[in-house]
């Protein structure tokens, strides 16, 4: 960047402008995201992997990010936004897995596919959570694909 650009007030980092919260009275996150907010947002995404552990099976994937979102969301708007998206994604994955298992169970031929459904859902969950955590750590506003917006 040239000296003229610096004097004119141009910066090397383009400001980010993303809405946080509901449409009415929503806050806007602008500029660079501070390191603490990025770390907590990353931890919030990674907490979704608790649903894959034997300690908190199934529902733990939604509860763990929800706890972090509630604890740090007021302090960091970026964590509030990313926490909401993480919880929505985990609830969506839980819904998709449950519906897939029910469909397999009802069609007696597909009863052997239930473990496959859970393995595929777990793999998709793992991949998207790792992508989201990496992007949150860089301060990017990440939206999960295939997500139902339970919380807006």
Q: Residue 104 pLDDT more than 70?
A: yes
Average pLDDT on 91-98 reads 92
If 0-12 CB within 10 Å is exposed, 13-18 middle and 19+ buried, where does residue 56 land? middle
Percent residues over pLDDT 70 in the chain: 78
Average pLDDT on 119-148 reads 94
Give 33-70 pLDDT, tens digit per residue. 899 999 999 999 999 998 887 777 767 888 999 999 99
- What are the DSSP calls for 98-135, one per residue? HHHHHHHHHSGGGGGGHHHHHHHHHHHHHHHHHHHHHH
Indicate the pTM of the whole model.
0.76
Average pLDDT on 91-104 reads 90
pLDDT computed for residue 55 by the predictor = 72
pLDDT computed for residue 149 by the predictor = 93
pLDDT classification of 18: cutoffs 50, 70, 90: low
Calculate the average pLDDT of the chain.
81
3-state secondary structure of 9: coil
Q: Residue 14 pLDDT more than 50?
A: no
CA dist., res. 21 & res. 77, Å (int): 9
DSSP 26: -
Q: Residue 15 pLDDT more than 60?
A: no
Q: Residue 7 pLDDT more than 60?
A: no
């Amino acid at each position: 960047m040239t000296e003229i650009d610096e004097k004119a007030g141009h910066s090397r980092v383009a400001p980010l402008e993303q809405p946080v919260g509901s449409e009415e009275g929503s806050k806007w996150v602008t500029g660079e995201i501070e390191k603490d907010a990025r770390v907590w947002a990353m931890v919030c995404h990674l907490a979704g992997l608790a649903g894959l552990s034997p300690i908190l099976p199934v529902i733990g994937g939604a509860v763990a990010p929800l706890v972090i979102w509630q604890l740090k969301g007021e302090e960091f708007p970026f964590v509030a936004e990313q926490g909401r998206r993480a919880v929505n994604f985990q609830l969506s994955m839980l819904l998709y897995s449950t519906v897939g298992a029910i469909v397999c169970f009802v069609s007696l031929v597909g009863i052997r596919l239930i473990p496959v459904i859970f393995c595929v859902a777990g793999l998709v969950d793992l991949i998207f959570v790792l992508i989201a955590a990496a992007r949150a750590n860089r301060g990017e506003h990440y939206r999960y694909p295939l997500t139902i917006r339970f919380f807006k």
